[in-house]
């Protein structure tokens, strides 16, 4: 039996002072939609994102990856980022290099959730899907029997904010979902 070839590659998983970030590249193959969905779901669960937000994010990532695979012919990039609130006034972000041990100056004390240097809690999830096609997606009306045409409408109606940006090659479609406080 021949081993199955993996259609995606993890680029990075990073926990930072103000959140976390995960990034993957998926090949232009149909099973990449499922792989993107599983990678996003597993990561969001590991980050303890509430189930309702996780479900919406996974659905929207799946829709955007599907669009990319339908219209572009190259690899598809997916990046998830937990975005933190800006530091509270009076805190010293320059002196807070990241989570550390209790009692070390400039580092958060896990036993003091309100103390200076506390790592800010995530307030939003940013998801980005990139592909080599420079044309932005267009929302189109979908009839009751149409099998396509709802992906961008779902993103626009479900996300707090969304948009597109051009890159050196291709484009990125992004959306942001709020996280409950």
Longest dimension (CA), the chain: 62
19-67 per-position pLDDT tens digit: 689 999 999 888 999 999 999 999 999 999 999 999 999 999 999 999 9
Cα–Cα distance measured from residue 131 to residue 126, given in angstroms and rounded to the nearest whole number: 17
Q: What is the CATH number of domain 8-86+118-178?
A: 3.30.565.10
- Quote the percentage of the chain above a pLDDT of 90: 49
Cα–Cα distance measured from residue 159 to residue 63, given in angstroms and rounded to the nearest whole number: 13
Could you state, in order of their start, the residue ranges of all structural domains in the chain?
Answer: 8-86+118-178
Indicate the average pLDDT of the chain: 78
Cα–Cα distance measured from residue 7 to residue 135, given in angstroms and rounded to the nearest whole number: 24
- Kindly tell me if the per-residue pLDDT of 110 is higher than 60: no
- This prediction's pTM: 0.75
149-180 per-position pLDDT tens digit: 788 989 999 999 999 999 888 999 999 999 99
């Amino acid at each position: 039996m021949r081993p199955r070839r993996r259609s995606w590659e993890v680029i990075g998983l990073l926990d930072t002072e103000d959140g976390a970030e995960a990034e993957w590249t998926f090949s232009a193959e149909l099973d990449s939609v499922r792989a993107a969905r599983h990678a996003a779901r597993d990561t969001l669960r590991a980050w303890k994102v509430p189930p309702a937000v996780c479900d919406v994010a996974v659905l929207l990532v799946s829709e955007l990856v599907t669009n990319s695979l339908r219209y572009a012919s190259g690899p598809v990039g997916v990046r998830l980022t937990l975005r933190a609130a800006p530091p509270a006034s009076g805190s010293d972000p320059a002196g807070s290099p990241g989570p550390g041990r209790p009692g070390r100056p400039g580092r958060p004390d896990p036993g003091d959730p309100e103390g200076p240097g506390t790592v800010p809690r995530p307030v939003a999830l940013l998801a980005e899907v990139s592909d080599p096609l420079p044309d932005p997606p267009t929302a189109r009306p979908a009839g009751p029997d149409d099998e396509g045409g709802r992906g961008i409408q779902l993103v626009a109606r479900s996300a707090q904010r969304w948009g597109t940006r051009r890159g050196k090659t291709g484009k990125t479609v992004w959306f942001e979902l709020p996280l409950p406080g």
